[in-house]
Amino acid sequence: MALPFDPQATEVLGYDQHLPAVPADRLTAPALRQRFLNPPEWTPDVEIERWFNEGSLRPAAVLIPLVMRGDEPTVLLTQRSAHLKAHGGQISFPGGRHEAADITPVNTALREAHEEVGLHPERVEVLGSLPTYTTNSGFLVTPVVGLLQPWDLDDELLRLERQPGEVDEIFEVPLRFLMDPAHHQRRVLILGGAPVEFLAMPWSSTLAEEPYFIWGATAAMLRNLYRFLAA
């Protein structure tokens, strides 16, 4: 379903460079494990999509995969196929709706990541979850954070393969970039005659012809991850 607006054409209100970036020593595997074992007191920035319409919610989960590539950990993301009804064409984490066989949101996130990008659950070290996020499409999403060690392309268990028709591309963005609010755009759109603010985190790669426009639910959950790691 097409959006009633072009998010990339919306007005940029500013950036959050007044907020400190997460220090590099908090982005190592030991530091991330410790943070989830002993979580700080913190408050999420966004828990409900600002243009959400009240109604019944469907449980879902996503995996926030942190790939520990030495001193430059990355976040694995996907570009969804444009024809999908929910969030078509948008950049997202691997994930989807809860199914009857899923015991917990972690099961949902790992199953969906396996189905969408070929990531085997046994390769994911689950650290924990962030608070749920409600999307405008009516999903109550649990973000599950997991560590992945760098893989050898010859390792069958770690050879990623996107699901045709659902995922157009798999790519990675440096975690350090996403955990620096100087790269967090505050944008505004007019919806129903009222201004609605949202976050975006455009990222340019030498491997891509155009910048990746990370926004909406994905940007909001990354912002909450920032708050959690920066607290």
pLDDT in tens, 61-77: 999 999 998 888 999 99
- Confidence class of residue 3 from pLDDT cuts 50, 70 and 90? low
pLDDT at position 210, please?
79
Distances in whole angstroms, Cα of residue 145 to Cα of each of 66, 95, 139, 179, 222: 7, 12, 18, 14, 11
Per DSSP, the residues of the chain read ---SS-GGGSEEEEE-TTSPPPPGGGSSHHHHHHHHHSPPP---S-SB-TTPPPS--EEEEEEEEEE--TTS-EEEEEEE-TT-TTTTT-EE-SEEE--TT--SHHHHHHHHHHHHH---GGG-EEEEEPPPEE-TTSEEEEEEEEEE----TT-GGG-----TTTEEEEEEEEHHHHT-GGG-EEEEEEETTEEEEEEE--B--TT-SS-B--BHHHHHHHHHHHHHHH-
Phi, psi angles (nearest 5°) of residue 71: -85, 0
Q: What is the mean pLDDT of residues 194-204?
A: 92
pLDDT at position 215, please?
94
pLDDT one-digit tens code per residue, 212-226: 999 999 999 999 999
What is the percentage of the chain residues whose pLDDT exceeds 90?
65
Mean pLDDT of the chain: 88
CATH annotation of 7-230: 3.90.79.10
